């Protein structure tokens, strides 16, 4: 780490500093700066905590509230670049907004404790002395050839490039033909903004120029890049990325799902000639550590990742892109509950730089922000290279139903056959994993349920199991009904993707298909393999859940069939209609992305529903206006605010008691109302009983202050937990 001027390190031996620990604690603790140490805000330090040692961050001068005899000393300064000031302010801001302890938010920024130690030097091999007497084998020769050109290689790289084992390499080292050297770290290839992008269409070019100018000027501003699927949004925001790189700023691109990163990474690599740093849950510990460290020391210029990438310690962040900004998966529902899209906007404001939200189906929140002038918008109304948007037709399941026990209507079946006969590819969309969502006894009607959740067990026939999708509980299919003891009377009810595959298989023997669901596409590698099989036309059909709905670009894919378009409309979710519209539009957008025109068949029992009418008439505007009116009339978000409290515990009586007490202590103020407590739709989840309270307030109300006072006014037993969710997306 570079030496810093003493004046920039204001805390000297004997001073008190406040140290925030990555623990769910609200307060930062005071520690004394030890002899020979000088510290500044943001420094990562190691401090004693009870009998343990833990890493924390110097948050500022001490409060002086700790009694002299209890005061402990900072143990040491860790060898990591300090947490940037903007990151510290971001942690405080997110904590205050979400009502989670600052330490819990800091934990997300310090998710790789191992990265706080100086990186281990990398041992690599170079050519050693030439020894004519060296016993030569084919494998040894390959190793020497690999090292003949190019840089030093690590043991494993060298072995794999030479297609041999590590013992051969070590043997050569022993013989002196190669030798080990120590490198300070692995140099990263940097994305090159000088590389030319594709020739842009007029619309694309004007949008790109606008974003480039923003990236060049800096300064906070939100731009909604609103373009139909296939219009080239990615190419357009790549221009802004290039400009930010040119200005020596770091760039963060948030994607809603890690499975999506595969094709995105390829495109980024083609455009910029190097990979960005990846950040998501599927990384090995070594890669996480390297990525965290590279972000912190500025070595990583572009990061692509899932929502938690927002909390990495960027010293020079200058642009954020949130792709598919409408996606509900930007909302993190566990741990600190926050919306990564909204917090990304906050991060940009704190850093005073531009942020781009991209979508073909923007959220109502963003649409309203555009109409009130808070956000700017750039439109890309057409698909690239004259590709037409696919025609969407509804299939009325009441008039044109599938045969008994089947899920494909005759029309969809016919279209599927035509598509395959034409040598094209198809996608069937059904947002349900497994074989069947419900298994019941035909004799007594008993339904197989999860013992720990208010949920049915979903049959996964390929794995031979019944599975709870909420807690992961597994069971074998019982031989007898647990209720009436009848044997072999179980019936699978309703379709999942596996069952649909079975039907297609029977209909078109020998059809080459893949099932794409979160349990078959578990990470970027699996996604990449799916992409490859589609691109190489090894398969004709993808049967998938929402994970195939967006992002993918398959030139030969011309038919998309939605098996049960009504699925997402059930239940009382505030955003059910909006989400269904977005999801179906996204899936439809997979069809006909290149020269061959696409068509989309949507099976529904409610062809008159506003969502279905909007799809069929391609009239997003009217639909969104109607949605906005309905929300405004009900004073619901984004025209009002919601905060939900979920009270849970294993002791049902204690949960009920706590909920009632919270309800009695509910804030009373103008424009604030508290609804509930009511049993949550998942009244039992992972063995915990759950009740919900919902605080509803006007837009202008500072809800956080109310909720903070409310929670402080009631003291609840430790066995009852209250989860706070500001701006809830899930109402389960």
CB closer to ligand ADP out of 121 and 198: 198
Q: Are 336 and 224 in contact (CB under 8 A)?
A: no
The smaller minimum CB distance to ligand ADP, of residues 203 and 564, is found at: 203
Contact 161, 153 (CB under 8 A): yes
Nearest distance, CB of residue 201 and ligand ADP, angstroms = 6
Q: Which of Zn ion, ligand ADP, none interacts with 553 (beta carbon under 5 to 8 A by kind)? A: ligand ADP
Element (H, E) at 201: none
Among 105, 344, 471, 547, contact with Zn ion (rule: CB under 5 A): 471
**Tokens matching residue 308:** 């938690």
Residue 406 phi, psi (nearest 5): -120, 170
Cβ proximity to ligand ADP, 88 vs 224, nearer residue: 224
**CA nearest neighbour of 648 among 611, 697, 685, 609:** 685
CA-closest candidate to residue 86, choices 53, 109, 114, 63: 109
Residue 364 binding target from Zn ion, ligand ADP, none, CB below 5 to 8 Å by type:
none
Nearer Cβ to ligand ADP, position 234 or 339?
A: 234
CB closer to ligand ADP out of 210 and 454: 210
- 429-458 residues near Zn ion, rule: CB under 5 A: 450, 452-453
Closest to Zn ion by CB, 469 or 593: 469
Partner whose binding site includes residue 230, from ligand ADP, Zn ion, none (CB under 5 to 8 Å by kind) = ligand ADP
Which of Zn ion, ligand ADP, none is residue 235 near (CB under 5 to 8 Å by kind)? ligand ADP
Contact of 597 with 390, CB cutoff 8 Å: yes
CB of 225 to ligand ADP, least distance (A): 8
Kindly tell me which of 528 and 723 has the beta carbon lying closer to Zn ion.
723
Extract the tokens encoding 572.
């009382």
Q: How many CB atoms lie within 10 A of CB 601?
A: 25
What count of other Cβ atoms lies within 10 Å of the Cβ of residue 181?
A: 12
Phi-psi region of 479 (alpha: psi -120 to 50; beta: other; left: phi over 0): alpha
Binder among 468, 577, 647, 720 for Zn ion (CB under 5 A): 468
574 binds, among Zn ion, ligand ADP, none (CB under 5 to 8 A by kind): none
Place of tokens 């006007």: 698
- Regarding 244 and contact with Zn ion (CB under 5 A), the answer is no
Residue 688: φ, ψ to 5°: -105, 135
Closest CA to 340 of 732, 731, 729: 729
Distance between CA 531 and CA 505 in Å, rounded?
21
| Residue sitting closest to ligand ADP (CB) | 232
Binding to Zn ion by residue 684, rule CB under 5 A? Answer: no
> Does residue 638 have a cis peptide bond before it, meaning omega lies within 30 degrees of 0?
yes
Taking the least distance from each CB to Zn ion, the nearer of 473 and 609 is: 473
Q: Which residues bind ligand ADP (CB under 6 A)?
A: 198-201, 204, 227, 229-235, 384, 553
Closest CB to Zn ion among residues 434, 637: 434
Distant-in-sequence, close-in-space partners of 5: CB < 8 Å, separation ≥ 6: none
- What's the rounded Cα separation, in Å, for the pair 392 and 348? 38
Residue 473 binding result from Zn ion, ligand ADP, none, given CB thresholds of 5 to 8 Å by partner type: Zn ion
User: Judged by CB under 5 A, how many residues of this single chain contact Zn ion?
Assistant: 7
Partner from Zn ion, ligand ADP, none contacting 227, C-beta within 5 to 8 A by type: ligand ADP
Provide the H-helix boundaries in 181-284. 202-217, 233-246, 261-272
Cβ of residue 345: shortest distance to Zn ion, in angstroms?
A: 35
Per CB under 5 A, the list member of 461, 470, 537, 721 interacting with Zn ion is 470
Q: Does residue number 322 form part of the binding site for Zn ion (CB under 5 A)? A: no
Q: Which parts of this chain interact with Zn ion (CB under 5 A)? A: 450, 452-453, 468, 470-471, 473
């Amino acid at each position: 780490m570079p030496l810093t001027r003493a004046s920039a390190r204001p805390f000297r031996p004997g001073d008190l500093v406040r140290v925030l620990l990555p623990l769910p604690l609200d307060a930062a603790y005071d520690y004394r700066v030890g002899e020979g140490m000088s510290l500044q805000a943001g420094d990562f330090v190691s401090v004693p905590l009870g009998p343990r040692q833990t890493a924390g961050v110097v948050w500022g001068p001490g409060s002086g509230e700790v009694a002299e005899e209890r005061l402990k000393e900072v143990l040491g300064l860790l060898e990591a670049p300090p947490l940037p000031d903007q990151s510290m302010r971001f942690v405080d801001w997110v904590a205050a907004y979400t009502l989670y302890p600052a330490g819990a938010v800091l934990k997300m920024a310090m998710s790789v404790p191992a990265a706080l130690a100086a990186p281990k030097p990398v041992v690599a091999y170079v050519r050693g002395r030439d020894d004519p007497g060296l016993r030569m084998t084919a494998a040894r020769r390959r190793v020497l050839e690999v090292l003949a050109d190019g840089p030093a290689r690590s043991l494993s790289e060298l072995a794999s490039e030479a297609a041999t084992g590590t013992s051969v390499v070590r043997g050569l080292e022993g013989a002196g033909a190669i030798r080990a050297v120590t490198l300070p770290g692995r140099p990263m290839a940097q994305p090159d903004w000088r590389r030319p992008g594709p020739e842009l269409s007029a619309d694309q070019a004007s949008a790109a120029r606008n974003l480039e100018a923003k990236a060049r000027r800096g300064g906070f501003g939100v731009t909604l890049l609103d373009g139909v699927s296939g219009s080239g949004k990615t190419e357009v925001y790549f221009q802004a990325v290039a400009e930010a790189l040119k200005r020596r700023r770091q760039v963060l691109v948030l994607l809603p799902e890690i499975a999506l990163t595969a094709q995105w990474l390829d495109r980024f690599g083609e455009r910029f000639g190097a990979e960005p740093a990846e950040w998501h849950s599927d990384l090995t510990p070594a890669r996480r550590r390297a990525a965290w460290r590279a972000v912190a020391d500025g070595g990583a210029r572009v990061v692509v990742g899932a929502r938690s990438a927002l909390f990495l310690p960027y010293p020079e962040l200058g642009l954020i892109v949130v792709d598919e900004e409408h996606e509900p998966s930007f909302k993190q529902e566990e741990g600190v509950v926050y919306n990564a899209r909204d917090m990304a906007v906050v991060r940009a404001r704190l850093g005073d730089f531009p942020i781009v939200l991209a979508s073909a189906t923007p959220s109502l929140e963003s649409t309203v922000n555009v109409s009130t002038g808070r956000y700017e918008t750039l439109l890309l109304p057409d698909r690239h290279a004259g590709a037409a948007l696919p025609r969407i037709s509804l299939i009325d399941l009441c008039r044109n139903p599938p045969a008994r026990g089947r899920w494909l209507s005759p029309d969809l079946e016919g279209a599927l056959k035509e598509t395959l006969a034409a040598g094209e590819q198809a996608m069937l969309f059904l947002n349900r994993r497994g074989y069947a969502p419900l298994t019941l006894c035909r004799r007594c009607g008993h339904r197989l349920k999860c013992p720990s959740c208010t949920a049915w067990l979903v049959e996964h026939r390929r794995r031979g199991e019944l599975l709870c999708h909420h807690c992961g509980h597994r069971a074998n299919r019982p031989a007898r009904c647990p209720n009436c003891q009848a044997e072999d009377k179980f019936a699978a009810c309703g379709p999942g993707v596996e069952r649909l595959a079975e039907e297609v298989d029977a209909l078109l023997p020998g059809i080459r298909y893949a099932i794409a669901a979160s349990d078959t596409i578990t990470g970027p590698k699996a996604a990449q393999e799916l992409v490859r099989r589609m691109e190489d036309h090894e398969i004709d059909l993808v049967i998938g859940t929402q994970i195939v709905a967006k992002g993918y670009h398959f030139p030969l894919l011309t038919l998309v069939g939605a098996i049960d378009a009504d699925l997402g409309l059930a239940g009382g979710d505030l955003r059910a209609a909006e989400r269904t519209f977005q999801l179906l539009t996204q899936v439809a957008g997979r069809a006909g992305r290149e020269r061959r025109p696409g068509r989309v068949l949507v099976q529904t029992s409610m062809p008159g529903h506003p969502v279905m009418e909007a799809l069929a008439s391609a009239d997003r505007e009217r639909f969104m206006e109607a949605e906005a009116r309905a929300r405004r009339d009900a004073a619901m978000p984004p025209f009002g605010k919601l905060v939900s409290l979920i009270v849970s515990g294993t002791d049902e009586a204690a949960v009920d008691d706590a909920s009632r007490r919270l309800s009695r202590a509910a804030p009373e103020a103008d424009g604030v109302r508290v609804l509930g407590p009511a049993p949550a739709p998942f009244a039992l989840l992972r063995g915990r009983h759950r009740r919900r309270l919902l605080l509803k307030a006007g837009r202008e109300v500072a809800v956080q202050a109310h909720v903070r006072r409310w929670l402080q006014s009631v003291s609840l037993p430790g066995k009852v937990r209250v989860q706070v969710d500001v701006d809830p997306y899930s109402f389960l």
